[in-house]
Homo-oligomer: A and B are copies of this chain.
Amino acid sequence: METVVVTGVAGFIGSNLADHLLAKGYKVLGLDNFSTGKTKFLESANNHPNFKLIVCDLSDINSFKDSLSGYDCVFHLAANADVRFGIEHPNKDLEQNTIVTFNVLEAMRANNITKIIFSSTGSVYGESLIIPTPEDCPMPIQTSLYGASKLAAESMIQAYCEGFNFQSWIFRFVSVLGERYIHGHVYDFYDKLSKNPNSLSILGNGHQTKSYIYVSDCIEAMILGVEKANRKVNIINLGTPETIEVFDSIKIITEFMDINPKIIPQDSIRGWVGDNPMIFLDTTKMNSFGWQPRVSIRDGIIKTLKWLRSNEWIFVEFEKNK
C-alpha cells in the first residue's frame, strides 16, 4: 500500500482526492489549516482507518515538517485559489502559493520524500495566443498574481527535480466543478439567483469562453498521469474537449432553477483584471495515457448545482466568514 500526503485536504479537490485514494487502498495523511477547508468535507475520510488529519499552517514549516516522515509522496493542493481577488491583497498569492510550496518542498527534502504532485492552473498561460493551448506553448506573459504565484511554484518544483532528484507531476487545470465546489461562477450565480431570481449582474460581457472539468475526472486523470508519466518533470494539462460561454452556463443554471432572470452583462471582454477571455487547454498529452473525461461540462454544472441545492449550509457558512 502506498502512503500519501494531501495538503489542502479539507478543500474541494483535496477532500474528493482523499476519499478517492482511501477507496483505492492508500494510506492518507491530510494537512489543512481550515482557512477555507471544511470539516464536513472530511466526514467520510475521518471515519476511515487509513486517514490521519493534521491541522497545521503550511506557512510555518515547523508545524508540519516532522509529520511527513515515512510517506511516499505529496499531493500539494493547498493554495489560495481566489484568482479574481489577487490585486486586492497581492501578498496572498505569494505567501499561500509560492512560499508555501517552498515550505512543502523543504519539508519533503527533510524527510527524503521526492515525489510531488502539484495542482497548477491553466492561468499560467496568461492570454495564450495558441488555443487550445499545449503545455509547450510559447513562454507566456502572466496576467494575474494567481498565475504568477503558481508558475513560481511550478518553477521551484522543477528546480528541486534537477537539484535534489525530485520527480514531479505538475497538472495545469482548467476550472474544476463538482461536489464540494465552493467558489467560482456556478457557486456565485446560484447564490445570487437564490437571493434574487429576477436579475443577475455578471462580470464581463458574458462571452468569456471557458472550459470546466468535473472533479472525479480530474482526480482520475491525476492518478493515471502519475502512473503513466515517468519523466523527471511531467507537465500535464487537464481539461475537457469542450468549451462553454458564460451566457450558456447561466442558461443551464437558470433552467435547473426554473427561473428566467434578466441578465445584466458588462461592456468588457474580461470579467475582472487578469481574467482570461478564452481558456481552452490542449489535453493531447493526458489523452495519450488513455484518459478521457466522462462528464460533459453541462453535466458537471448540473451535478454541481444538485450538490449546492442539497448543501445550502455552505452559503450560510460563507456569509458568517465574510
Task: Give A contacts to B, CB under 8 Å.
Answer: 86-87, 90-91, 94, 98-99, 102, 105-106, 126, 135-145, 147-149, 151-152, 154-156, 158-160, 162-164, 233, 235, 273-274
A264 to B162, CA, bound (A): 25
Q: Which residue on chain B has the smallest CB distance to residue A109?
A: B90
Q: How many copies does the complex hold?
A: 2
Given the interface pairs A98-B98, A152-B98, A163-B87, the reply to whether A158 lies near B142 with Cβ below 8 Å is: yes
CB-CB < 8 A to A235: which residues of B?
A: 141
Q: Tell me if B142 and A155 are in contact (CB < 8 A).
A: yes
A94, B137: Cα distance in complex, Å: 26
A147's contact among B86, B154, B155, by CB below 8 Å, is which? Answer: B155
> Are A159 and B274 closer than 8 Å at their CB atoms?
yes
Counting chain B CB atoms within 10 Å of each CB, which of A105, A155, A164 scores highest?
A: A155
Are B155 and A151 in contact, CB atoms less than 8 angstroms apart? yes
A180 CB, nearest partner CB in chain B, Å: 29
Chain B residues near A152: list those with CB within 8 A: 98, 148, 151-152, 155-156
Given contact pairs A86-B163, A145-B163, enumerate 15 new A-B contacts (beta carbons under 8 Å): A86-B159, A94-B98, A94-B156, A126-B158, A135-B139, A136-B139, A142-B154, A145-B156, A145-B160, A147-B155, A148-B152, A148-B155, A148-B159, A152-B155, A159-B274
- The 16 sampled A-B contact pairs (Cβ below 8 Å) are A86-B159, A91-B106, A94-B102, A126-B158, A136-B139, A137-B139, A142-B154, A142-B155, A142-B162, A143-B162, A145-B159, A145-B163, A147-B159, A148-B156, A152-B155, A162-B274
